[in-house]
Amino acid sequence: MDRAGIEDRTYVDPGQQEPDPDPELPEVSEQCAAYCTAVMENCTGEHQAYTTEATCHGVCALLEPGDPLEPVDNTVACRAHQAELAGRTGEVAVHCPPAGPGGAGVCGSDCEAYCALRAGACSAELDTQEECVAMCAGLTDAGKFDVIENHEGDTLQCRLVHVSSATVDPDEHCRHSSLMPVEPCVEPEGTAPDCESFCQAVMTSCAGELAVYESEEQCLAVCAALPPGAVEDRSENTVGCRKYHAYSAMLAPSTHCPHAGPGGDGHCGSADEPETGLTGNCESYCMLLSAACEGFLGESFPDPASCESECTLLPGAARDSGYSVASAEEGGDTLACRLLHVGRALELGDPDACLAAIGESPCQ
C-alpha cells in the first residue's frame, strides 16, 4: 500500500468537502502530548506507529498512564520511554514496535492492548478483558507492526491498526477491528486458508468440554486431509468453512465449535439430504476415513456409497449432532466415536484407530 496515500484513504472521502482544518478535539494531557510528539518524530517509515498524531492521542487517552520512573507494562509511560530510546539510540527496529499501540511484548502484549482499546473505543465483544485476551491468542500474529503494511490482512496487527483509528473515528473503524475477520482485515477472496492458522484459531476458541480436536497435531492432520477451499467459504466441506466457524466460536463457542470439527456437523458439508439419505457428517467421515485407513476398508466399505449408507444409520450422523472430543470418548457405536478415531488414525497412523474408525472396539 502507498504510504503517501494512507491518510486520504483512511480518513478523507474524496467526494466530500475538505474537513475542518481546525476541528474541536478533546483536550490532550501533557503526558500524551509529549509521548505522541516523540513517537511521531522518532518512529517513521516502516517503523511508523500511527497514521496521525490525533490517532496517537486517541490511543494514549485509553491507556493507563503508568509511572515514568518505572516505565513498564501496558502503559503510556512504557511506550514513551521506548519512543525516547528510539530517538536517543537510533535503534528504531528495537524500540519503535513497543512504542506503538500494541506494546509488542515489552509494554504489555499486543492482545492486551488490542482488547483494552477495543473495549474503550468500541463496544466490547466479550464480557471481560481476560476472555478477549484468551480469544485474541487465536489470531494470526504478523510478527511485526507496520501501520501501512498491516492496514489489510487477517492478522492481529491489522486489528490493532483499525482499533487505533477507532479511537478517533469509531463509526468507520470499530467494525474493521472485530475479532471476526471484517474487510479490510481479511485475506483476499479465493485465498486458500493454511492449516496452521485454522488450527491456531480452533484450538483457542474450542477448548475443554467443547474441544473438537485432541491436539494441534491432530487438527493439522485432519486439516491436511480436507479440501482447503477458500477463506470466504461458509457452508462447503472445506478448511475455509471450518475456519469461519472457528472464528465464530470465539464469540459463540457452544454453537460453532461442532461446525469447526472433523465432521462439519452439517454446516461445513452436506446438510441432511432426504432424497439421498446422506446426513450432515457422513460426507466428511467417509472422506477422512478413506484418507486415513484405505488399506483397512476391504469388505466393510468397498466404495464411498457403502460407507455413506452405513454412516447415515449411526447416532450422531445428522446435522447439529454437536460433536466434541468429550462426547466421542464415551465410545459406543456412534459417529462421534468413529470421527475421533479417524482423527487419531490420521495423526498417528495407528492401525487400532482405523479398526475403531470402521466400527470395532471401542466404537461398537
Query: What are the φ/ψ torsions at residue 282 (nearest 5 degrees)?
Result: -70, -35
Asked if 343 and 262 count as a contact pair (C-beta separation under 8 A), the reply is: yes
Q: Please state, in angstroms and rounded to a whole number, the distance separating the CA atoms of residues 6 and 115.
A: 24
Asked if 100 and 39 count as a contact pair (C-beta separation under 8 A), the reply is: yes
124: CB partners within 8 A, 6+ apart: 118, 132
Strand runs (DSSP E) across 18-84, as ranges?
Answer: none
Q: What is the pLDDT of residue 297?
A: 76
Q: What is the pLDDT of residue 13?
A: 31
24: CB partners within 8 A, 6+ apart: none
Q: Please state, in angstroms and rounded to a whole number, the distance separating the CA atoms of residues 273 and 159.
A: 40
Strand runs (DSSP E) across the chain, as ranges?
Answer: none
Alpha helices in 90-138 (DSSP H): 92-99, 110-121, 129-136
Q: What is the pLDDT of residue 17?
A: 35
Domain boundaries, the chain: 3-11+28-177, 195-357
Q: What is the pLDDT of residue 276?
A: 64
248: CB partners within 8 A, 6+ apart: 180, 255, 256, 259
How is residue 170 annotated by DSSP?
H
In which residue are the cell numbers 449432532 written? 321
80: CB partners within 8 A, 6+ apart: 31, 34, 35, 38, 39, 68, 71, 99
Q: What is the pLDDT of residue 275?
A: 62
Taking CB atoms within 8 Å and a gap of at least 24, the contacts of 269-272 are 269/235, 269/236, 269/237, 269/241, 270/237, 271/319, 272/318, 272/319
Q: Please state, in angstroms and rounded to a whole number, the distance separating the CA atoms of residues 104 and 324.
A: 35
Tens-digit pLDDT string for the chain (364 aa): 444 343 333 323 333 334 444 445 568 999 999 999 999 999 999 999 999 999 999 999 999 999 999 999 999 999 999 999 999 999 999 999 999 999 999 999 999 999 999 999 999 899 999 999 999 999 999 999 999 999 999 999 999 999 999 999 999 999 999 999 999 999 999 999 999 999 999 999 999 999 999 999 999 999 999 999 999 999 999 999 999 999 999 999 999 999 999 999 999 987 767 666 677 899 999 999 999 998 877 667 877 788 888 999 999 999 999 999 999 999 999 999 999 999 999 999 999 999 999 999 999 9
Strand runs (DSSP E) across 30-173, as ranges?
Answer: none
* Predicted TM-score (pTM) above 0.75: yes
Q: What is the pLDDT of residue 127?
A: 95
How is residue 215 annotated by DSSP?
S
